Amino acid sequence: MDIREAIETDLPQLLAIYNDIILHTTAVYDYEPHTLEMRKQWFEMKRQQGFPVFVAEEEGTIKGFSSIGPFRAWAAYKYSVENSVYVATEMRGKGIGKLLIPPIVEAAKELKLHTIISSIDATNEASLKLHKRFGFEEVAHFRQVGWKFERWLDLKFLQLIL
């Protein structure tokens, strides 16, 4: 498995992973699949902001991706970022997430950031466990803040101070 920075030609595969997650999980609190144009805008914004996107690739196929981005828009939050880790359905539970978190942590350190925040659906035990393995600590539990799949969703914030 190769871990590398994403390039624009990876976007269709990243989009497929992301849309599958939108449609079938509570890892993303969105309802409608995104378009390739939306994913291109997202990627361009990451580039403009200086935030990397990493992919886990095996034999030309993207198996997962991770990124960091702004936590909040106001100036005082400039040393805080939020991370995301997404893994293709068929690769979940096979250690891909463990490969995708270290490069975003290292990138955040290189960018001289202070903290990474991860917002995770409270029922996503695999993601909660993964983040805790890398030193993230639960700092908040928001009850019934999302509505998806005909039920209320709780959201947890985990934080890693760098």
Task: Calculate mean pLDDT across residues 60-75.
Answer: 97
Residue extents of the structural domains in the chain: 2-161
- Looking at residue 155, its amino acid is L
pLDDT of the residue at 138: 98
The CATH number assigned to the domain with range 2-161 reads 3.40.630.30
Q: What's the whole-number average pLDDT of the chain?
A: 97
Distance, in Å, from the CA atom of 116 to the CA atom of 105, rounded to the nearest integer, reads: 8
pLDDT in tens, 12-41: 999 999 999 999 999 999 999 999 999 999
pLDDT category at 132 given cuts 50, 70, 90 is: very high
Percent of the chain with pLDDT over 90: 100
Task: Calculate mean pLDDT across residues 52-64.
Answer: 97
pTM exceeds cut of 0.75: yes
Tell me how far CA of residue 17 lies from CA of 25, 39, 55, 162, in angstroms: 11, 11, 11, 29
